């Protein structure tokens, strides 16, 4: 006999579409990183370039599996999973996650011909956030948010059922529940990878001695990390999410430079012969571990959320600024960072290898001590507000079951 979440959802089976949408999220991240490295190493691409195909695979898999799930719930009127679904457009039934995945997949596929036209009209991109890439990123993040919410809803329903079920000691049930908890942090880490990539031009090692980088971090990351930390029942969800993000970012940058690549679009200032890696990501795992500890100590009602936001936002900025000040300087200036692991020897074919600022801070990215400290103060204020919104969002995510 099996304990049940509802008459049709058992604790011993995770739906196939959940695995599919998390796989799609991974395809999207690695396709995007491959596309960036393709532009750095080869330049010219087309609508059906290999990195684009990998992203399209992610969109199609997420859209198809989620669409089929929605159609099953819509037309199988006796399907008791409807009680855990949302009705939209007056016709369809589906989970929030499935709906986001379908909308995101359609947006991604719509952006493809727009991007192809943009390249044919304006040539090679010189920025990440061009109009077609912005549409694509919106679609990507919508698919990934759908994957994250899809896992989250099932995680919450499993957790509630295990708490109230007489069969909660069943080891199989606990194994499935723990698997969902891990899948949620992996899905969250993949979405964090896209968030970082979108902001990478402002957060690279070259910017680690300028307060603008920490203001950007203070706005973007406490919001997201604390929402994940509050929504997950794991003991160290922010830490695991940060590890998943780092591995998602680093694995393609470690593997692709092993393969040959030559520029196909001029001017070629740096005649490379292999793929060039993207960038070593921020060490969010260190402040993430501290945020987990603060949530353990104060996040269960010991103090109100505004005070918790002050503690977590301040801690995040102070820790990440110290960590990245030194680690960013290491990556940007040290010869010991110019290797396969730390990626600091990577250089686009369009970069001038004789520039004196490849491994030295440009004056633009340097500040006086007073200016830097003032900026860190602004970053702390931004992080506190970001953390407070993140805690609110996390409270909402804890209640998601559809």
Which contiguous run of DSSP H or E holds residue 92?
A: strand 92-94
| Residue 8 maps to a domain | no
Which range is least confidently modeled, 172-181, 196-205, 314-323?
Answer: 172-181
pLDDT: is 169 or 213 the higher one? 213
Whether 87 contacts 56, CB under 8 Å: no
According to the model, what pLDDT value does residue 364 have?
Answer: 92
Provide mean pLDDT across the span 270-279.
93
Q: Which of 98, 131, 132, 128 is nearest to 115 (CA)?
A: 132
Of 77 and 212, the one with more pLDDT? 212
- For residue 365, give the DSSP letter: G
The larger pLDDT score, comparing residue 338 to residue 84, is at 338
| C-alpha to C-alpha distance for 279 and 294, rounded to whole angstroms | 30
- Residue 23 forms part of a structural domain: yes
Whether residue 4 is contained in a domain is answered as no
Confidence of residue 195 (pLDDT cuts 50, 70, 90): very high
Looking at the domain assignment, is residue 186 inside a domain?
yes
Is 337 part of a structural domain of the chain? yes
pLDDT at 79: 64
Residue 2, domain member (yes or no):
no
| Tens of pLDDT, residues 129-150 | 667 777 878 888 888 888 888 8
- Whether residue 7 is contained in a domain is answered as no
12-34: pLDDT as tens digits:
477 888 888 899 999 999 999 99
Please give the pLDDT value at position 147. 87
Q: What is the pLDDT of residue 3?
A: 36
- The helix (H) or strand (E) run that includes residue 86 is strand 86-88
| Structural domain includes residue 3 | no
4, β-bridge pairs: 10
CATH number at residue 137: 1.20.1450.10
| pLDDT: which is higher, 197 or 68 | 197
pLDDT tens, residue by residue, 170-193: 566 677 778 888 889 999 999 999
Q: Is the pLDDT confidence value at 163 over 60?
A: no
The pLDDT of residue 8 is 40
As given in the structure block, the two tokens for residue 356 are 């004196």
Tally of domains within the chain: 1
- Spatial distance between the Cα atoms of 187 and 177, rounded to a whole number of angstroms: 15
Q: For residue 245, give its domain range.
A: 14-399
- Rounded Cα distance between 395 and 202, Å, is 30
């Amino acid at each position: 006999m099996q304990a049940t979440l509802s008459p049709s959802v058992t604790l011993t089976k995770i739906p196939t579409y959940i695995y599919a949408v998390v796989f799609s999220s991974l395809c999207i991240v690695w396709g995007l990183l491959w596309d960036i490295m393709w532009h750095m190493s080869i330049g010219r691409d087309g609508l059906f370039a290999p990195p684009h195909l990998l992203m399209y695979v992610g969109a199609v898999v997420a859209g198809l599996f989620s669409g089929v799930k929605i159609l099953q719930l819509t037309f199988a009127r006796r399907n008791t999973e409807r009680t855990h679904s949302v009705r939209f457009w007056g016709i369809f039934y589906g989970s929030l996650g499935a709906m986001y995945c379908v909308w995101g997949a359609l947006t991604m596929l719509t952006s493809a011909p727009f991007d192809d036209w943009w390249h044919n009209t304006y040539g090679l991109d010189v920025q990440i956030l061009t109009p077609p890439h912005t549409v694509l990123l919106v679609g990507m993040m919508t698919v990934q948010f759908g994957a994250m919410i899809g896992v989250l809803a099932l995680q919450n329903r499993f957790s509630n059922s295990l708490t109230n079920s007489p069969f909660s000691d069943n080891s199989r049930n606990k194994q499935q529940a723990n698997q969902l908890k891990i899948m949620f942090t992996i899905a969250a880490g993949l979405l964090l990878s896209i968030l970082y990539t979108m902001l990478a031009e402002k957060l690279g090692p070259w910017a680690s001695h300028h307060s603008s980088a920490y203001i950007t971090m203070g706005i973007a990351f406490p919001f997201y990390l604390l929402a994940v930390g509050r929504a997950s029942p794991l003991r160290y969800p922010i830490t695991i999410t940060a590890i998943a993000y780092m591995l998602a970012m680093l694995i393609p940058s470690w593997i692709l430079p092993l393969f040959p690549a030559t520029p196909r679009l001029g001017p070629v200032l740096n005649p490379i012969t292999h793929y060039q890696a993207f960038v070593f990501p921020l060490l969010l795992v260190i402040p993430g571990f501290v945020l987990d500890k603060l949530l353990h100590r104060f996040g269960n009602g010991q103090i109100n959320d505004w005070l918790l936001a002050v503690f977590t936002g301040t801690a995040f900025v102070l820790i990440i600024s110290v960590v990245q000040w030194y680690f960013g300087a290491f990556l940007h200036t040290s010869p010991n960072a110019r290797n396969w692991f730390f990626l600091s020897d990577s250089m686009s074919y369009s970069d001038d290898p004789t520039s004196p600022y490849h491994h030295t801070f440009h004056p633009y990215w340097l500040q006086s001590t007073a200016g830097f400290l003032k900026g860190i103060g602004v970053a702390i204020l931004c992080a506190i507000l970001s953390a407070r919104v993140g805690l609110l969002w996390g409270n909402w995510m804890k209640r998601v079951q559809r």
